[in-house]
Structure 1
Amino acid sequence: MRLLIVEDDRELAAALASAFARRSVSSDRAETAGDAELMLASAHYAAIVLDLGLPDGDGLVLLQHLRAHGNPVPIIILTARSDLGDRVSGLDAGADDYLIKPFEFDELFARLTAVLRRKGGFQGNLLTFGNLQFDIATRELLVDGVVLALSVRETELVELLLRRDGRVVPKRLAEDQLFGMNDNLGSNAVEVYVHRLRQKLERAGAATRIDTIRGVGYLMRLIA
């Protein structure tokens, strides 16, 4: 899962990115509405954390633009604007939640989890496929009840495969979710992590395999 943090306060944006990373959630950062629009045009995000006071305009305008063009990405407004009118305007414009600064990160993360659950981004606490179980809260993958040690990107990859529930994960989507906008990717960067995950699942006795659908992406199947 990858988030977009739209926040012009660099210190706060960096702190948020670090806090999300400790929960095994990746993020990209945009300091302006213009940068955010460019990033949204070239990458897929699970959700947006949006400040309203941006250097090139009001974040509310960006929100309205996204909704007017049918973009359903979950958006949590994170702002110092605390008046009731501001909160109502944000929610009326299409925000999924509204959190006022100063805030506690645990509350932001809980609200994000709730929004994603309502939108279908979280489906209960466990994702299950064959003898695999992925615990969304602890970010642990279990094979026959035994925790399998994975790197952060391997964890993101297996979650993405499990969430697709028998559907192909396009390679571009995997790149967006596993790597940031500023990462310099080799042509086989995703394939490297797919290969490592395949090996770990096989050694652990997983009743699944990851197939490469040439020219398209990756698919997790049950082993017959």
Structure 2
Amino acid sequence: MKLLLIEDEPELADALAAALSKHAILTDHTSRLADAHELTLQNEYDAILLDRRLSDGEGLDFIPKLRRAGKNTPIIVLTARNQPMERVEGLNVGADDYLGKPFLVEELLARVRALLRRPAALPEQTLTIGRLLIDPVHLTVMIGSSRLDIPRRELLVLQALAKRKGRAVLRSMLEEAVYNYEEEIQSNAIDAHISRLRKRLAAAGAGVGIHNIRGVGYLLKEE
């Protein structure tokens, strides 16, 4: 799962990104609306977390602009402006949810998952291939009736491959799924994740294989 966080308090943004990463959720962060618009044009996000009081404007103004660009990404407003009529204003302008600061990370996670359970947000509740069953909302991987524990970045690789099962996935697409735009990516990072993931899947009898498509990327298919 990959989120865009639009928040101009650096300490809060860092803490929130760190907390979400423990749940295998990747976060791109920006403090400016102008940069947020560019990021949404260049990337696909599962949801957007949006503050209202930003250095270059009112966060709610970002919502209709995003919708006019044809993006229906779910948006949760995170703000200290939490009076009843302020919540009404946010929901009326197009926010999918509205959460007042301060908040518990657990509540935010529950709200994100609730949004992604909606059919319009997540057409496919689970990803299945071979004996693998991946729940992208709760970030779990099952093989038969047994849960397979996978480190966060490997899980993100597996999800990206499973979403396009039977089709080649570009290396650049895997990097986008696993790393945020501010991270420096080592040249062999994806290869290392794939190598470890192959070993885990084979040892667990997952019934799938990850194949290298030379010059293109990788492909996940049932064996």
SS of equivalent residue, structure 2 residue 117: helix
SS of equivalent residue, structure 2 residue 219: strand
- Equivalent residue letter for 1:132: L
**For residue 34 of structure 2, what is the aligned residue in structure 1?**
34
Distance 1:7 1:180 in 2: 15
- Normalized against structure 2, the TM-score is what? 0.86
**For residue 98 of structure 2, what is the aligned residue in structure 1?**
98
Alpha-carbon distance, 1:138 to partner: 5.8
Q: 1:72 to 1:212 in 2, by over 3 A?
A: farther
Alpha-carbon distance, 1:14 to partner: 1.7
Q: 1:136 to 1:43 in 2, by over 3 A?
A: closer
Distance 2:161 2:182 in 1: 23
Deviations 1:31-82 (A, max 9, x none): 1212322333333322110001101111112222111111122211111222
SS of equivalent residue, structure 2 residue 49: strand
**For residue 206 of structure 1, what is the aligned residue in structure 2?**
206
**For residue 43 of structure 2, what is the aligned residue in structure 1?**
43
Contact 2:167 2:219 in 1 (8 A): yes
Structure 1's consecutive aligned runs of 4 or more residues displaced over 6 angstroms after TM superposition are none
Distance 1:66 1:117 in 2: 21
1:18-97 superposed matches below 5 A: 18-97=18-97
Distance 1:137 1:176 in 2: 19
User: Are residue 121 (structure 1) and residue 155 (structure 2) matched?
Assistant: no
Q: 1:212 to 1:90 in 2, by over 3 A?
A: farther
User: Are residue 17 (structure 1) and residue 29 (structure 2) matched?
Assistant: no
Distance 1:216 1:56 in 2: 40
Distance 2:158 2:3 in 1: 17
Distance 2:122 2:202 in 1: 27
Contact 2:165 2:221 in 1 (8 A): no
Contact 2:154 2:193 in 1 (8 A): yes
Contact 1:117 1:123 in 2 (8 A): no
More deviation in 101-110 or 143-152? 143-152
Distance 1:4 1:120 in 2: 15
User: Are residue 175 (structure 1) and residue 172 (structure 2) matched?
Assistant: no
Alpha-carbon distance, 1:112 to partner: 0.6
What residue ranges of structure 2 are gaps of 5+ in the alignment?
A: none
What residue ranges of structure 1 are gaps of 5+ in the alignment?
A: none
Aligned residues: 222
SS of equivalent residue, structure 2 residue 174: helix
Deviations 1:86-119 (A, max 9, x none): 3233223222111122222222111111111213
Q: Aligned-pair RMSD on alpha carbons?
A: 2.4
Q: 1:60 to 1:164 in 2, by over 3 A?
A: same
Alpha-carbon distance, 1:170 to partner: 3.8
